[in-house]
Amino acid sequence: MSYPFLIQGSNIVVVIGNKSHTISKTHITYNKVLEAIKANDWDTVKAVIDPVKVVLNYGRGNVSVQGDKLFWKGAEFNGTLARRMIQMLEEGFTIEPMVNFMENY
């Protein structure tokens, strides 16, 4: 099964179901999505775009993101900082400075 997509400028837009997903060139998953589209690997496209399935590790491995949840040393971390970091990731920004802050706090 393939999904409708559009590559325009520095963005990829993929429609899965009735939801549109925009991945900017600065987003950590951009190249993976682009390569999967080129290879007609739609399972990978969906897995990478679906935030519930994306797991990212940062810094010394103390901070991880699983879907829309942030974890600190394996425990779920809630609060303003965690919500902002998730929002920044979804918008394609790096969270490394915030991870460094958490690890040096």
User: CA–CA separation, 87 vs 91, rounded Å?
Assistant: 6
Indicate the domain borders of the chain. Answer: 5-49, 55-104
Average pLDDT over residues 31-59: 80
User: How do residues 10-36 score in pLDDT, each as one tens digit?
Assistant: 999 999 888 888 888 877 788 889 999
Listed in order, strand segments (DSSP E) in 1-105 are 5-8, 11-16, 19-24, 55-58, 63-66, 69-72, 75-77
Residue 104 token pair = 């040096």
- What is the C-alpha end-to-end distance of the chain, expressed in Å? 47
pLDDT of residue 14: 94
User: Region 34-54: what's the mean pLDDT?
Assistant: 81
pLDDT of residue 51: 54
pLDDT at 4: 94
Q: Taking 80 as the threshold, does the pLDDT of residue 97 lie above it?
A: yes
